[in-house]
Every structure is written in structure tokens, then in C-alpha cells.
Amino acid sequence: MYEIAARKELAPKIKMFEVCAPEMAEKARPGQFLIVIINETGERVPLTIAGYDAKKGTVSFAFNEVGKTTKQLGCMKVGDCIWNVTGPLGIPSEIKNFGNVLCVVGGVMIAPMLLQVKALREAGNTVTAVVGARIKDLLFFEDEMKALSNKFYVATDDGSKGYKGLDFLWGILTKEKFDRCVVMGPVVMMKEVSEKTKPHQIPTIVSLTPIMIDGMGMCGVCRVSVGGKMKFGCVDGPEFDGHKVDFDELVNRQRMFLPEERLSSLVWETLGGCKFGGK
Amino acid sequence: MAESKPKPKKEAVPMPKQEPKVRRGNFDEVALGYTEQQALEEASRCLQCPKPQCVTGCPVEVCIPDFIKLLREGKYEEAAMKVKEKNALPAICGRVCPQEEQCQKPCIMGKVGEPVSIGRLERWVADWERCKGVKTPEKAPPTGKQVAVIGAGPAGLTVAADLAKLGHKAVIFEALHLPGGVLVYGIPEFRLPKSIVQAEVDYVKKLGADLCAGYLVGRIYTIPELLKRGFDAVFIGTGAGLPAFMGLPGENLGGIYSANEFLIRVNLMKSFAFPVYDTPIRVGKHVVVIGGGNVAMDSARSALRLGAEEVCIVYRRSREEMPARHEEIENAEEEGILCKFLANPTKFIGDEKGWVKAMECVCMELGPPDESGRRRPVPVKGSEFVMDTDTVIVAVGRTPNPIIQSTTEGLAVTKWGTIVADEDGKTSIEGVYAGGDIVTGEATVISAMGAGKKAAKAIHEYLTRRGNGPKSAMTS
């Protein structure tokens, strides 16, 4: 049982939890993830680590309420207990002084990216942060990211805040020299940024979120093609070379259980959602 | 029960089973177990050999004639205790051990007819005891020693049980959220009900072992850290958990599962009860299972129960070379599973949505025997053919999980990724032992338990030899 120590609403349907897990807090590193199981009938959901505090003995993760489990998780309050949290899983991000680093992030992944930017800055890097969302209401941690990074840009798909789309970034890529690029967020975005950094030969790291079950190398559902080789997102990743990932295959594999995911969500909501108690 | 002297029957009492037509529609256990009468009748067939060969065939050396004698005298509790002297998980072994290859193989009765059904009797005794309420055997006084057992599968549970009986504190670290290892994620409910695994795990806990589930050693504390944090010894029983793929074009299409994924969804995550359980599974109409082992049989039979219209096992050798238990092949065929022998997939073909729609295979013929002693299959040129399918389950083997090996400095590993350990499970690091599939590669439940028994004995000797441990060594 893992008690929820703090709960923050970052944006509509985006929440961040801090849970008590002292040993994980001691071992967690940027780039790693947790597997969260709400209750005995729950599924194993991978969520990227968005923070850890060894002194307080807590680890944090953010999630977007898109499916049954994340919606149900969103109903939980401070003091409630999550049935099982396993982690930290996956290989931590490579953090060292690369020089000039470009960090591009969209959606819920803004939370773990903040952790990454902090670590990169502490290692002596200059960081340009580009934070994006569909619409301005879905943006969060703008001030925090602005304070941590050396240069800071905001973009939204509809242009309701900052730049409209990422087109402005391609201009920056031609003007400024980057030693490394880290991208976290929707697959289409990771794909697009990777395609644009390739001609500039900027090593580009993407943090993938394929479907997972065990998260420790047993089931193989998270397999991705990287440079034509089969890799497991959970144990070989979750971070890979963005210039080598087959993103189209990844999108296809992420959609494998869409009808079932919709059904599960619908059934739960029909039964009363949060009021149903999540059983 | 008075023993009369009629000649023992040549045939074993058959195991009552669910009818194939009925069972292919449910996940309930297929083999229903003997009644008391049937158990007594089967037990009466045992000749009580003065030099019992059956015991030599058992990897954990259960005193087979002794427990059968107690059974037939109606001393069921004593019979159960007799089995448990050597085997902490009899209800599991009675169900999934390949007895035909082990204890029952050298049985004298097998020379004149069928061997005594030792496994079925073991199961009956264990089930009888569980229904009645399990007694915890006497334990040695606490030694104050602590052992970290990594993995709550057959090897780890055996080590923990044996060490606990000797008075050592065993703490089992299980990476998944439920204990049991392959017994819960791999073997389906219809062959091994999970309530039975739970009961046997509870017994190990009753002996005094602690369980820490959802704890991945290597990613939280590593083995050197566990040793520093007060554990006197470590046992690694992390199993062969990584699925092998074939490296064929189209293998990442939708609808292609590793057997591990398929079985984890069904068994551990209970997706047969989706959406009551959250984890989904999708089984199409025409399921193909690639492989010829028990895992292939389990996958095929599970797919059938999940509503597939047709399930076909594709195996590259012939029926005789199939590594699956004979009993399981028979069960599968009774249920209507089809087999395509001497065929090997060459590629998968997808539809416009990225879902598998067909599989191309090539016919095989058997050449001279390979290093496994089985005849090596070789492709027949130009014999390619295409099978329509919408669900493929790849059951071509599992490899060792690498997490411990990659996080434990100084641990010797083979080129296959298995851990190097001697007969007693001793590894290259003092105080660190290993056993089961992580040492041998994919094998059986009982061989893992056998390795666990030996390791527990060796760990006990190591702890005893070391006396009061490093603390007193420093002060003396």
C-alpha cells in the first residue's frame, strides 16, 4: 500500500501525485518510470517519474485522465492508498555536461521534463526549454520551467498562447547550435522533432511510452524497432535515439487495445465513475 | 485399512476430468482430482518396494512409498506431513510435475502395466490437508540469520520454506505484485488454480518467511546493498522470464503476442474476466500458436477458452519431438486444438490497420539429430505456404532475466546470460546462491524446487559455518 502524500491539479484532467515510498525515493533517477496498480483488479500502468525526495521519502508522477485507470486514479485523495507501486524501472537518463541542450516537451510529460531540465542544469548545461500543449489551459509549470531554463518558449497547437505549433523552432535550429535534444510527449511530436534535428545532426533522445504490462522485461508488449532492431521499452529504454525509432510502428502498437480501453472506461463511467468507488 | 493380498491392478485409476466440450468453454481446472475411494484404490497398487526406484526419480526425493503407505492406512494427515518433509508445495507439484519423466518412470508397476499415479496421490493428499486446514510443522529456534530470497517462484519459495524451517529469517523479494512466479503468471488456472498457489505461498509464510511483493531487486537495492544492509546470504531465483522472438518480418504487427504476454494477461492480470479486471486481451477467430512446448499448449488452450473459433499449433518438428507433456498434448487435442507439424513461419503479413492477417510458413523435414538429440528440422526449398490468422502467439522459449546480472558486480554469468552456480547453487560471490531457470535456462517447476532444496542446505551450512557472522568476527 502506498499512501498519497500530496495531490496537485496541474491542468484540467492532469494531476500530479506524491506517494510515500522511501526506498524508491532513494533510488529514483530522472528518466525512470513506475508501475502503478490501483487495486486488486487493476491493470499495471507505467508512469514516468516526475520527482523524488529522499528526505521526505516520496516519489511523484503526473498523469492525464484519459483511460479508466487514470480517471479512477484522479478520484483518489490525499491519504488514500494505491495498492501497489513498483519502481524505479527502466534505465535512467544520461545526465552530464553536454553543453547546449534543447528540451522539447508537450502535455503531461511537462512534469517529468522539469525534473530532467533541473538535472541537466545542475550538470552544467545551458538549456533551451520549449513547452507545448494543445491549448493554453493545458499548460502548466510555465513559471517553474522558465526559472530553471536559460531560454524558454511556449507553443500551443491553436496559438492560444505563445507560438502556434512548433514551426518557429525549426528556424531556431538553423540559427543556434545544439549539442543534444531531449523530447518528451506525444509520439507525433517526438517524431516531428526527431526528423527536424536529424539534418542538423543533433543527437536526439526521445522518452517512449509504449503499452507495458510488467515493465521489467517479461512480456515484450513494449517492443519497439530502433535502428531495425527489436528493443524492449521497459528494460532497454524508455529513452532511445530519436533518429532511429520507428515511430509509425509505435503509434500502431499504442493503439492495439483502443476499443477495449474505451469499453473499460465507458463501463466504469456508466457504473458511476468515482462514486462507484473504483471497484 | 487392512491390507489384502490380491494382485494389484495393471491399470491406474483414471483421473476424472471435465468433459472436453464443457471445459473448452471455462477456465476451471480440467483434472478434477481423485475421490477418497479412488485415491485408496490407486494407493493399493503401490508394491512398497524395499528399494524404491520412484524416490530416485524425484528431484526433491519425496519418500514416496512411505506417504503412500500412510495414505492407504487412512493416516492422511501423516501422509501429507511425510510429503512436506521434502516438498513444501505438494498441491502444485501434484498438478504440474512431469511425473511420467520422473518418479513414475522407474516405477516397477510400469513394467507390467501402468505406473502408480504418484502425482495424483500427492495432489490428493495435499488437497485433503488444505481442505481440512494446514498444520505448521515445528520450526527450529530462530538463529538470528537473515536471508534475502529474490523471486517468489518455485525455487525461491522452496528455499524460503526450507530456511524458515531451520530457524533462519527468509525475506522473499518478488518483482511482480503477486507471489508465485511462473506458477501465477505462466501456468493457466485450468491447470493450476491460483487459489492453490496462494494457499501454498501462505504455508511458506506461516513457516515464518516474509514476502515483499512489487520489489525489484537491482533497481531498488542491489545484491551488494542487501548484503550490506544486514542480510547474511542471498538466493537468486529470478527465473527465465524474457520472451524470445524469431526476428521475422512483421513480428511487431498488432495481434502478435509473445506467449509470455498472452499468458501474463490471462493468468496474472486475469483478463479473461475483462472488464471486471482492467487488463484487456483480444483473441481473434483464427489463432496460431508457434512452438511445441507446454507454454505453447497453455497458450493454445487459453485462446480456445477465450472464444477463438480455431486454434492451430505450428511446430517445426514432428509430434514425437514435441517437448510438451504427453498428457497436455492429449488434453489439447481432445479440446479440438489443431496441430500443423513440420512447418516454420517465415514472415507475418499485416492489413492496412497494422494488424496481422496472415502468416507465411515453410515446410520442414527432419535431418540428422542436433545437440539436443532431436532430429534437426531443415526447410524444404520452395514449399512456402500462407495461413490466414488474426492472432499469433509466439511460444518459442524464454531467456534469463538480465536485471540482477547487470546490477551485481562480480557475479559470473554464462554467454547465454544464465548465472554460473555449482551443484549447491554457489555463485562467484560469497554468500550469494542461485538456482532454477536463472541457472539452467528454461526447465521445470520441480527441477527449480530441487535446486532450491540444495541451495537452502548449502546456505544453512554456510550460515552455520560462519557462526555469529561478521559482527562477532570483528569483536573477537
Residues of A in contact with B402 (CB under 8 A): 217, 235
Size of interface A-B (CB pairs under 8 A): 117
ipTM value: 0.94
| Chain centre distance of CA B81 | 22
Please name which of B29, B337, B304, B338 lies closest in space to residue B188, comparing C-alpha atoms. B29
In this predicted model, what pLDDT tens digit does every residue of B349-372 receive, in sequence order? 999 999 999 999 999 999 988 887
Partner residue facing A218 (CB), from B213, B241, B257: B241
| Chain centre distance of CA B361 | 30
Cβ neighbour number for residue B220 with a 10 Å cutoff: 22
Angle at B219 between CA B218 and CA B220, to 5 degrees: 95
- The pLDDT value given to residue B402: 85
Asked if A85 has any chain B CB less than 8 Å from its own CB, the reply is yes
Asked if A271 has any chain B CB less than 8 Å from its own CB, the reply is no
Q: In chain A, which residue's Cα lies nearest the Cα of B177?
A: A84
- The pLDDT value given to residue A15: 96
Q: What would the 3-class secondary structure string for B323-355 be?
A: CCCHHHHHHHHHCCCEEEECEEEEEEEECCCCE
**Distance from C-alpha of B453 to C-alpha of B430, rounded to nearest angstrom:** 19
Confidence of residue B137 (pLDDT cuts 50, 70, 90): confident
- The pLDDT value given to residue B2: 52
Residues of B in contact with A68 (CB under 8 A): 275, 278
Confidence of residue B4 (pLDDT cuts 50, 70, 90): low
Please give the share of chain B, as a percent, with pLDDT higher than 90. 83
B207, B165 contact by CB (below 8 A): yes
- The pLDDT value given to residue A278: 46
- The pLDDT value given to residue B134: 80
pLDDT at A90 over 80: yes
Q: How close A138 gets to chain B, by Cα (Å)? A: 27
- The pLDDT value given to residue A158: 94
Asked if B132 has any chain A CB less than 8 Å from its own CB, the reply is no
Q: Do B175 and A86 touch (CB under 8 A)?
A: yes
**Distance from C-alpha of B10 to C-alpha of B111, rounded to nearest angstrom:** 9
Asked if A217 has any chain B CB less than 8 Å from its own CB, the reply is yes
Asked if B277 has any chain A CB less than 8 Å from its own CB, the reply is yes
Mean pLDDT score of chain A? 95
Query: Residues 328 to 387 of B: which have CB under 8 A from any A CB?
Result: 353-354
- The pLDDT value given to residue B358: 97
- The pLDDT value given to residue B3: 52
Asked if A168 has any chain B CB less than 8 Å from its own CB, the reply is no
pLDDT at B471 over 80: no
Q: Do B176 and A213 touch (CB under 8 A)?
A: no
In this predicted model, what pLDDT tens digit does every residue of B218-237 receive, in sequence order? 999 999 999 999 999 999 99
In this predicted model, what pLDDT tens digit does every residue of A17-58 receive, in sequence order? 999 999 999 999 999 999 999 999 999 999 999 999 999 999
- Residue A51's beta-bridge partner residues? A60
Q: Do B258 and A220 touch (CB under 8 A)?
A: yes
Mean pLDDT score of chain B? 92
Confidence of residue A249 (pLDDT cuts 50, 70, 90): very high
**Distance from C-alpha of B184 to C-alpha of B182, rounded to nearest angstrom:** 5
- The pLDDT value given to residue B18: 95
B176, B204 contact by CB (below 8 A): no
**How far separated are the first and last CA of chain B, in Å rounded?**
60
Mean pLDDT of B136-147: 88
Residues of B in contact with A224 (CB under 8 A): 252
Report which residue type is found at A114.
Answer: L
Residues of B in contact with A83 (CB under 8 A): 177
**Distance from C-alpha of B63 to C-alpha of B84, rounded to nearest angstrom:** 10
**Distance from C-alpha of A215 to C-alpha of B135, rounded to nearest angstrom:** 38
SS3 category, B423: coil
In this predicted model, what pLDDT tens digit does every residue of B198-218 receive, in sequence order? 998 999 999 999 999 999 999
Residues of B in contact with A267 (CB under 8 A): 275
pLDDT at B476 over 70: no
Interface probe for B, chosen from A52, A219, A221, A252 (most Cβ of B below 10 Å), is A219
Residues of A in contact with B354 (CB under 8 A): 249, 252
- The pLDDT value given to residue A176: 94
Residues of A in contact with B392 (CB under 8 A): none
- The pLDDT value given to residue A279: 43
**Which helix (DSSP H) or strand (DSSP E) does residue A58 occupy?**
strand A58-64
SS3 category, A25: helix
